Structure 1
Amino acid sequence: MGDTTPAPDEEPRPAQEGPELSATSLAALDLARAELDLAERFVVIVGDTEDAVDLAPALAEVWPTAHLRLMTKNQPPRERRPDDLRLTPVASVPDIFNALAAGPAPDVIIELGGDRGYAGHGAFGATFLSLRDGGAYLKVDLAGEVAAASADDADDSLWQWLGRSLGDQHQPPRLTGELDKQGLVRTLGEAISGVTIRDGSAVVHKRGEHLMKVNNLLHRPDGEHRVEQTVVRRCGEGSASTIAGEPAHEFEVTSPVWVNDAEAGVRLRDRYLVRELAAREYLGAVCAPRGVVTMGGLFLPESSMQPLVRPWFNRGTQDAGPDYAVFPRVSGPVPTLPGSYYHLDNEFPGHYGHVTTQDLSRLWAWDAAVERDPDVRVLLSPPTGHQEPHDYQLRLLEAFGIERDRVTVLREPARVERLVSATLGLQNHYFASPVCTPVWERIRDALVPEAEGSTPERVFVGRNETRRRCLNGDEVERRFVEAGFTVVHPETLDIAEQIRVFSGARAVAGYAGSSMFTMAYATGDTHWIVIGSRSYTATTEHLLATLHRQPIDYFFADPEVEQPAGGFAPEAYFSDYTFNFERDGADLDALLARL
């Protein structure tokens, strides 16, 4: 744990006479004096209001240069409020997490306990990784934690976490697998550098730096503003600012939608909330390939392809549980990219479906970024295993008006002098904003004249994939060919020809997935028919068709692996499936006859 003895000129002074401390506060003070040096440190006190208000002045007397912050459930009486201490009301563990994010990373967290459902219950697991490298977590009354550890509702106690993370031989026998998900237990084990237990209390020392995921803020009515506010409070005035935005609004589906399975069709909503969109400029953001955007130890929502989903993770980082991640390893100093950059990256760089629906759906604020800085450049990372973007990506950007020499390829982490990052205009399962339409239209209108040949009126989009296969696809495609459809495989076509085919056809059918996403460029009254597994829960085709006010018919087929009731399984999501002709053949034939 290292030597924590104060330097001679920082010798802690005895606390002056004042209000008599409670047993809890006195224990915290004694343990801090014995094990820690709080001089010049950022110290957060979490817990019972009375205890915290008593402890803060005592700590300030011993370490007058410590930066103290109190987080309590209730405001103390006015006469008890410390004049020179920052006090943040917090009603829950998520409130504590958000308050920690909106301030300097703490060097020390002192948990005084109190109401277990508020501070003791879950506080350690939710906040320990917010500490700086070399920080410490001080917990008073470990005996109370041990006693509670065998209770049915005590899975988040400090004692349980230490047992899970370190394999303590004294761990209580009852463990649940739920909290092991996404690497939190593993990460805690790696991050704990030492534990001192003294007089019934504990100090847990931390090593390593961890990113705090702040996408939970988006679930609040003013979520985009809260993200900006949180960054500013942590990184300083001017570190984040909004340069463009779109207000939230309700979108009502007015085009016809038909489904063969009413239960599966529930996911295709007839109205949805288009969330507020914001384009923010960050000063000094640190980015990494696969869409990673961070500021001051905060893992920003722009890093996620589904920022409204909790918990989320990004494949460009090591996940560390629902609220934390570990930045990619770097050797040596992180280089700086001078100038302004527009972030146009995702977790699957170069993947056609993600480029079309995610990267391009961020371009709604490009013109505002150019107005702010005419020399702004695009920042994106290359596809896995490549050093450069795919040619079709650069052609899409050129069609939009961004020349190739304006694209910077991010191959390693870098600090960006000025980064503009815009909210995704399309978020699968949630919404598609009308701001995306002009982006796709601009690209379509520039590329279609380049395409050669005629466009079939009826198109069936084939799928050459090794997963999510339609096991009786030959029979499905035969039915469509007999009805006058031409089978095409988009991946064999030039990008301009792909867009021409989708924008010129009167009816387009195909298997659910990215092969169908060129429908983003559609125009006119195209009728869409989607065939896909009932376990494939994505709704992108529905969002695109209804955004364009075009009719769409869904045939949900029978998967080899069903989604668990009330849950989600990747093996079900990617499951092969079979079109049920006995159940749905007559409806399909009737639809084809009407077109």
Structure 2
Amino acid sequence: MTGALRRGLLSGKRRLRNAKRHDERPSAPARTLQQVAARLKAGPASGLRPLWPQLEQHLARTGTPDVVVLLLGGQEAATAATWGTRLPDTRVHAFVRKPVDDDSSAALPANVTVHVARRLADRLAVLSVIDRPELFIDASRVTNDTQSSLRHLFFFLRDGGTYLIAKLSRVEPADPDPGARRTIARILQRVAVVRTMTAEARPLGKTVDGPLVDAVAAMDLGDGHVWLRKQGEQLLKLREWEVDEVLTARHGTTWGRVLEETPSSTFTALGEVHAHGEGPIASGRRTFELPAMRLRAYDRPTVSSRQVATYGDYVLPDTWRHPNQGTLHHRCLVYDTAYMAEYRAERRPTTRRELDGSFYYFDTELPDHFGHITTDVLGRYWGWVEAVRQRPGVRPLLSVLTGRTGMTPFQRAIFTALGVDPDAAEYIQPDEAVVVQELLAATPAFENPYYVHPLMADVWRTLGENLPDRPPPVASARIFVSRRRTGKRECTNTEEVEAYFEAAGFAIVYPEDYAYPDQRALFAQADVIAGFGGSGMFSMMFAPHARVVIIAGNSYRAANEELIAAANGNEIHYFWGRSLVQNDTERYSATAFRSDFTFDLAAYDAELRAVLRR
């Protein structure tokens, strides 16, 4: 989330304390909103007066809500006071654009909290630390802010909650944003159209406002206003930098604690990159911004298959492969907004169990995947060492794929070499949610393509030293790591490239043909390691002395090899071929990333010879 959201957290704690004061006072006799407004001399009450009867009918039908959120204009203290007086057992949060004067603030009921929240980020800061509302009323002017609020804040409602946009009648001539109402109208039109379709007829894939449309259970369009009823339980995404403050603001100390922390820092690569041709990785030594490294202990979180960890209605940062970034995606979750997610229907757990004891989170979004286990999972090993010190008897926790009963042989070899007993592991089955008594989880030290922590060099050294010592399956100081046909990132002239390197004295190898200890021996013996970019190259981690040559298409934006070289000190050369699908923007394109490429040997011959002859 934005810096403004983070800055709002501390004030959010104070607002929560104020909002809960009503629990200590007796309930007042019920009056209608109209009667309360008249008694308080609330004036126009934010233009809601025409809707008082409908709002009373809504309250009579749904019962007294626990939480109501009002999005108002100006000061509007009188409107907030009206709601707080009418619903003395409800926590009322009012978003206003200008500070409320001292007299008006002092007159507010104890169950009302007024937040000066001019921007969407300010409202998100509050909503992230309060209980989910059953009723959200947008009584502000219709501007682009209205559509932003609908698109983002609607998802904060509880399942079955109601969202009222109170001002849709017309756009004033002086309105600075006359297109806003029409935009809201288009959103509502999509809701109306899609709701009439069968599930089979609905658009497939990503559509504009698709998650919002799917979350609307019912819509009632009135004269200048619209009622929307929400369905489903969406979860708030948390990043590494905000999780501790958000959970503490909402739950106090009951969520858990930080067991170990090292401050953020910078790290300049020990190995130098030499780029040949135009590609996403440039020459030089990158300086990485390293996040604070934290080991946390969560009390009774819920985990499900493929690295989904939640606490209440939050998605914990330990779910994400890139928990320090602003955009968070996961294969098991629908990307509703930048802030909200929900389970995909086919990934929603169907069973639930409790798990006693302390467990360390070694899970991955892609169980059994060699590349992700040797980067994402190894990147969290540092926390295991501290977890064992503080929690003797802690056990590893990870997912198992359908049909499997335990780890793959290579993962078992890795865990054994690092002192993590595979036989002590607890496995999350594909269909279950597991409530863990205590879950220990660590900030990753390796986050492709963003950073690598220098401590990873020690992890790789420890791993290599403790794998069984075997002779290399192919004896050669110069190896070329090739790729078999997989349907993605294939070099269209692979045979030509292999022949070129073979003529230069390289043994052509396929690391996946060998057991993991043999792969270590294969790479550790080499003085020069060349090959096609990808997970086959990752065992270069066992050869910090080697010169490395990567051949890849220029749409290949992964930087795993660069990160390994940065921590280990390898001299690394990138030779960029041309991907068949170009990625000409800053945004990630899966199609471009996976596309095949052609490598022009003739164009690079002189540069290759200069690198290889040394």
Q: Answer yes or no: is the 8 Å Cα contact 2:350–2:433 preserved in 1.
A: no
Q: Secondary structure at the match of 1:434?
A: coil
TM-score when normalising by structure 2: 0.85
Q: Cα deviation per residue 1:330-365 (whole Å; 9 max; x = unaligned)? A: 576621112111111121111000001001101111
Query: Of residues 328, 348, 363 in structure 2, which corresponds to 1:312?
Result: 328
Query: Cα offset for 1:83?
Result: 6.3
Distance 1:121 1:318, change over 3 A: closer
Indicate yes or no: 2:472 matched with 1:457. Answer: no
Indicate yes or no: 2:34 matched with 1:34. Answer: no
Indicate yes or no: 2:557 matched with 1:537. Answer: yes
Q: Name the aligned partner's letter for residue 514 of structure 1.
A: S
Tell me the equivalent position of 2:189.
163
**Where do 1:65-464 residues align within 5 Å?**
65-81=89-105, 82=108, 84=110, 85-114=112-141, 116-117=143-144, 119-144=145-170, 154=180, 157-167=183-193, 182=206, 185-215=209-239, 223=241, 226-262=242-278, 264-266=280-282, 270-327=286-343, 334-383=352-401, 386-411=404-429, 412-449=432-469, 455-464=475-484
TM-score when normalising by structure 1: 0.88
Q: Secondary structure at the match of 2:595?
A: coil
Tell me the equivalent position of 1:517.
538
Q: Cα deviation per residue 1:528-573 (whole Å; 9 max; x = unaligned)? A: 1100010111111111101111100010111111113444322211
Query: Cα offset for 1:373?
Result: 1.8
Query: Cα offset for 1:138?
Result: 1.7
Of 146-155 and 94-103, the range deviating more from structure 2: 146-155
Distance 1:298 1:425, change over 3 A: same
Tell me the equivalent position of 1:473.
494
Query: Which runs of 5 or more structure 2 residues have no equivalent in the other structure?
Result: 1-27, 197-203
Distance 1:504 1:10, change over 3 A: farther
Indicate yes or no: 2:586 matched with 1:562. Answer: no
Distance 1:274 1:501, change over 3 A: same
Q: Answer yes or no: is the 8 Å Cα contact 1:182–1:321 preserved in 2.
A: no
Query: Cα offset for 1:151?
Result: 6.8
**Separation (CA, whole Å) in 2 of partners of 1:312 and 1:275:** 17
Query: Which runs of 5 or more structure 1 residues have no equivalent in the other structure?
Result: 1-8, 171-179
**Separation (CA, whole Å) in 2 of partners of 1:571 and 1:358:** 22
Indicate yes or no: 2:70 matched with 1:45. Answer: yes
**Separation (CA, whole Å) in 1 of partners of 2:317 and 2:454:** 21
Query: Cα offset for 1:182?
Result: 4.6
**Separation (CA, whole Å) in 2 of partners of 1:27 and 1:545:** 67
Q: Name the aligned partner's letter for residue 195 of structure 1.
A: M
**Separation (CA, whole Å) in 1 of partners of 2:305 and 2:324:** 21
Q: Secondary structure at the match of 2:40?
A: coil
Q: Answer yes or no: is the 8 Å Cα contact 1:98–1:214 preserved in 2.
A: no
The RMSD of aligned alpha carbons is: 3.0
Q: Answer yes or no: is the 8 Å Cα contact 1:213–1:301 preserved in 2.
A: yes
Query: Cα offset for 1:372?
Result: 2.7
**Separation (CA, whole Å) in 2 of partners of 1:361 and 1:475:** 36
Distance 1:159 1:72, change over 3 A: same
Of 154-163 and 349-358, the range deviating more from structure 2: 154-163
Of 34-43 and 336-345, the range deviating more from structure 2: 34-43
Q: Secondary structure at the match of 1:582?
A: helix
Indicate yes or no: 2:43 matched with 1:21. Answer: yes
Q: Answer yes or no: is the 8 Å Cα contact 2:235–2:315 preserved in 1.
A: yes
Q: Secondary structure at the match of 1:393?
A: helix
**Separation (CA, whole Å) in 1 of partners of 2:178 and 2:538:** 48
Q: Answer yes or no: is the 8 Å Cα contact 1:145–1:159 preserved in 2.
A: no
Q: Cα deviation per residue 1:460-479 (whole Å; 9 max; x = unaligned)? A: 11112421111112221222
Q: Cα deviation per residue 1:442-462 (whole Å; 9 max; x = unaligned)? A: 211100525566752111111
Query: Cα offset for 1:421?
Result: 1.7
**Separation (CA, whole Å) in 1 of partners of 2:182 and 2:330:** 25
Of 583-592 and 562-571, the range deviating more from structure 2: 562-571
